[in-house]
Structure 1
């Protein structure tokens, strides 16, 4: 009886202690592991990469780490490292892959960070910012531990049911990405079938998909003629096929990785510094059942690779899983050419956005979008073109209906896409329509008007009226049109007939997203 009483008291004491425990990492510390291993024996093919992926295990203070996480995650990431290299080699880049900070050939140096708060502070929706702030603080205190700008942040599941993991952030934001850990997240479970095998594919495949985002890759789909051999694109729906059936990098994803910091063998001080490219001439045609696009460009930083996506509407962020794609090298110093067979498209109807991406040597990317559509299974490429714009020297803004402080209408004449005219949005809510008018300094013969948007298209001008005047007082409507919802490239609006005019007025009557405000980065005429 006394033994039973003592056992009950001990159990109660243990229960009380567990209710007030401070959760700690139950696995060996990195220091202990380092003491037991020698990096001099590491033979990993990419151990000499000067930049390596930072792998972080982030644990909220009311969540337990999952047992054996270091070995399980190391195996998953080492397998992915090799898979990426095989794909990079197939696409002509050699056996390049992302570097990993290794303790030995089978164990990654994973940074364990105990979160300051409970899981409620780090939810799936909106919780990544709080996690990232603590990761940044950790590396500020441990600068030698930060091996690159790229972070894979893994958080234990908030749901204790191993059959239903979930809860923490699981996506990519910039050069960081987030994934979760749970008890059956183990490479040995890939392809075994059943619920355990299926969830291993979803969560491991999902982790590697999000890692792709964290290494700069965008969504895309495997081109139709390549799918029988190469299977599903990792950056498409590869999170549902990884470990079950063939899952591959597309040529565009491989080209992107070719310019990612952690794949590079070159030490630079300007990784991801601002860079831009401009297409100075562009032509498009439909020949032999192929979309052919060629052009010339200028750039503020050298470009290694150029890529193109053809994205069917709805397009843009998280609507681009179906975007077929191609990559190419520069021709000479400033030219490019793509041949995109229609046999590689899955749908020859509706509206498309063609996005051309310039991959700079420092990891930055410039993306320019062009709208086109299919008519009777044939692409209408009439808008995929550039014109030589009239010089804007001596041009000035005559008037505008309103503007947000710091975003005057004069910004549309500076040929700088990072500055915009923006009507009020932070305080006064001035409704549509909005307008600005331009004095070109003298009579000009105008055949068309060109508009250019910033990257954020919420509130970009949609339906517009274009007016001309010879005196800036009496205005004549010369065109009503709807502008394409694209960023970066010039949106060209041909006039019905050429006009001789000194003044032009642009009136926005609606915006994309049906916002009360409008904005525009650049304006020109040809």
Structure 2
């Protein structure tokens, strides 16, 4: 017998000895924990699942082995969210995923209607959203929630320098890219592939945070040495490389996001009106303390505040804004302590934002400006007055209104609705005016004004008039408003009693022809 035949015979004997009974089972080889991970998923029964879409321009093909790599990335992110929300007291919860019967992720692959040039970084996201909305309309069973993660193959042509496609949050959509070496096995490695994994996988999880409702923020100064970098700060540069975490404020947002819910409800993200009825800020024991009362027609689950250092009117990015969270007290009160030791700078201008997070996932935010003087915050500027009852108030005349900017928006308690003069089809200039009817003779010490978040065109200089009959007018004086979101209180020259008030603008901030105002109220003490 030749040497080759002997080897062949030995191989046959080895194969024959590997009978079904003697082969090591998957459970024995991998262990029960690994097997369960393959065929089960803790959050597979969440009634709402994150839609994970692999979007391929019609002149491209998917990156090799994309389904396995993307699955591992989102499973890893699921675990990251669960660990962080459990630490912050929300239980071991994470976003749901659509899991197939074999335990694999149901990754929806969609071929675009156009080539890659139609989906660039700038502007491409909106094009993709339109196509995916049409796709989900045609395939409604595939849409499992309002939240969608979209990945596109990199179009840069260089797998070690990927890019060229949308990579950002876009409402409840979020975009990331894929390339050949995007694999969780490289996370934490001290080499080029490891650095790329942190940048692009960390970036994916960061943008996913946006798609699950979270804005930017910064970790507290006091926890940076232990917990590391906030995911929604610059965590896309540390994820998998150095400690990275989800802050308490963002854990509260995620815990009240649709895909984290274990309950079905029909009112996800439906509009909720929440108003602050009084607000107080003070500095005590080296802490900023925010307290007050609110009314809401929805159930408030948590209240967040951001302290964002930035010059008034500048672009607001939140990357340097420490955030704090608290449960409401009862159904109508708030109290949040913000230690100054958690700030990074105690000088300059700040914007304070108070965000009400509702059980149906919707959010209502109010913004105020304050500043540090000699390392002490002038937080008392946010303190509110007791405002008049507006239930009988109405706007009976406005010289100009845009279709989506009726003057009635000034009286509804919602900063997202506002009076805006025309600017689309025609652009009338100042003066602009409106007439308020308070319904009856009313004693007024002054009026309270609130701007919307976009301050371009906010009213600057104006004059107010009073009337008892709506026809004969007497001047109440000339006044000015600052370019800021705080409630601004304008005291009249003297306390007056009247029924009608007419406001006439002289100009606006930025010298725009248009004008706008989000909220109008009054006070008498």
TM-score with structure 1 length normalisation?
0.85
- Corresponding residue for 2:327? 329
1:59-138 maps to which residues of 2 (within 5 A)?
Answer: 59-103=56-100, 107-138=104-135
Output aligned runs, 1:331-350, within 5 Å: 331-350=329-348
Shift of 1:167: 1.2
The answer on whether the counterparts of 2:40 and 2:103 sit within 8 Å (CA) in structure 1 is: no
| Aligned residue number for residue 247 of structure 1 | 244
Q: Deviations over 1:45-99 (max 9, x none)?
A: 2222221111100000112210011111111111111111111011111111111
Query: Quick one: distance in 2 between partners of 1:335 and 1:102?
Result: 41
CA contact (8 A) 2:477 2:493 kept: no
Moved more, 439-448 or 142-151: 439-448
Deviations 1:10-34 (A, max 9, x none): xxxxxxxxxxxxxxxxxxxxxxxxx
Candidates 189, 202, 205, aligned match of 1:208: 205
Rounded to whole Å, the distance in 2 between the matches of 1:157 and 1:483 is 42
Once residues 267 and 394 of structure 1 are traced to their aligned partners in structure 2, the CA distance between those partners, rounded to angstroms, is: 38
Mapping for residues 299-318 of structure 1, pairs under 5 Å: 299-314=296-311
Find the aligned partners of 1:464 and 1:436 in 2 and give their Cα distance.
15
Structure 1 pair 52–172 and aligned structure 2 pair: CA distance change class (3 A): same
User: What is the CA distance between 1:395 and its match in structure 2?
Assistant: 4.6
Contact 2:46 2:262 in 1 (8 A): yes
Shift in alpha-carbon separation, 1:509–1:288, aligned structure 2, 3 A: farther
In structure 1, the partner of 2:176 is: 179
What is the alpha-carbon distance in structure 2 between the residues aligned to residue 395 and residue 199 of structure 1? Answer: 59
Between 172-181 and 294-303, the greater mean CA deviation after superposition: 294-303
CA offset digits 1:446-467 (Å, max 9, x no partner): 3332123345x25452423343
> 2:383 aligned with 1:385, yes or no?
yes
1:365–1:127 distance in 2 versus 1, CA, 3 Å: same
Write the deviation string for residues 212-266 of structure 1: whole angstroms up to 9, x where unpaired: 0111111000011111111110000111111111110011110000101111111
Structure 1 residue 403 corresponds to structure 2 residue 401: yes
Would you say how many aligned residue pairs link Structure 1 and Structure 2?
484
Aligned partner of 1:492 among 488, 491, 494: 488
Aligned residue number for residue 258 of structure 1: 255
**1:473 matched residue in structure 2:** 473
2:138 aligned residue: 141
In 2, Cα distance between the equivalents of 1:441 and 1:43? 63
Contact 2:462 2:507 in 1 (8 A): no
Pick one of 154, 159, 164 that aligns with 1:162: 159
State the Cα distance separating 1:414 from its structure 2 match: 5.0
1:511: Cα distance to partner?
3.8
Please tell me the root mean square deviation across aligned C-alpha atoms, in Å: 2.6
Q: How many Å apart are 1:485 and its aligned residue?
A: 3.3
Correspondences of 1:255-294 after superposition (within 5 Å): 255-294=252-291
Q: Distance in 2 between matches of 1:46 and 1:415?
A: 38
Partner of 1:383, secondary structure, is helix
Maintained 8 Å contact 2:461/2:508: no
Partner of 2:233: 236
**Alignment gaps of 5+ in structure 2:** 1-34
Q: Which residue is equivalent to 2:513?
A: 516
Q: Structure 1: 5+ residue runs without aligned partners? A: 1-37
TM-fit CA distance, 1:129: 2.1
Moved over 6 A (4+): 38-41
The farther-off stretch of 139-148 and 156-165 is 139-148
State the secondary structure of the residue aligned to 2:188. coil
**Deviation at 1:417?**
4.5
| CA distance in 2 between partners of 1:402 and 1:269 (Å) | 38
Q: C-alpha separation between the residues in 2 aligned to 1:101 and 1:410?
A: 44
In structure 2, what is the Cα distance between the partners aligned to 1:178 and 1:482?
38
Q: In the alignment, is the contact (CA less than 8 A) between 2:300 and 2:357 conserved in 1?
A: yes
**Greater CA drift, 194-203 or 244-253:** 194-203
Residue aligning to 1:447:
445
Confirm or deny: 8 A CA contact 2:397 2:435 kept in the other structure: yes
| Contact 2:348-2:371 at 8 Å conserved across structures | yes
Q: Partners in 2 of 1:143 and 1:249 — Cα distance?
A: 32
- Give TM-score scaled by structure 2 length: 0.85
Deviates more, 1:245-254 or 1:122-131: 122-131
Does the 8 Å contact 1:280/1:296 carry over to 2? yes
Q: State how far apart, in whole Å, the 1-side matches of 2:194 and 2:404 are.
A: 55
CA distance in 2, matches of 1:78, 1:41: 11
CA distance in 2, matches of 1:92, 1:318: 30
1:406 to 1:191, Cα distance in 2 relative to 1, 3 A? closer
Distance 1:87 1:479, change over 3 A: same
> How far apart, in 2, do the equivalents of 1:171 and 1:187 lie?
20
Q: 1:225 aligns with which of 222, 225, 249?
A: 222
Q: 1:348/1:511 Cα in 2 relative to 1: closer, same or farther (>3 Å)?
A: farther
Distance 1:43 1:414 in 2: 48
Report if the CA contact (8 A) 2:38-2:103 is conserved. no
Larger radius of gyration: 2
Aligned to 2:366: 368
CA contact (8 A) 2:170 2:211 kept: yes
Secondary structure of 2:221's aligned partner: coil
CA distance in 2: counterparts of 1:272 and 1:163, whole angstroms: 40
Give the distance between the partners of 2:331 and 2:221, measured in 1 at CA.
31
Distance 2:169 2:42 in 1: 26
Cα distance in 1 for residues equivalent to 2:345 and 2:64: 47
Partner SS for 2:380: coil
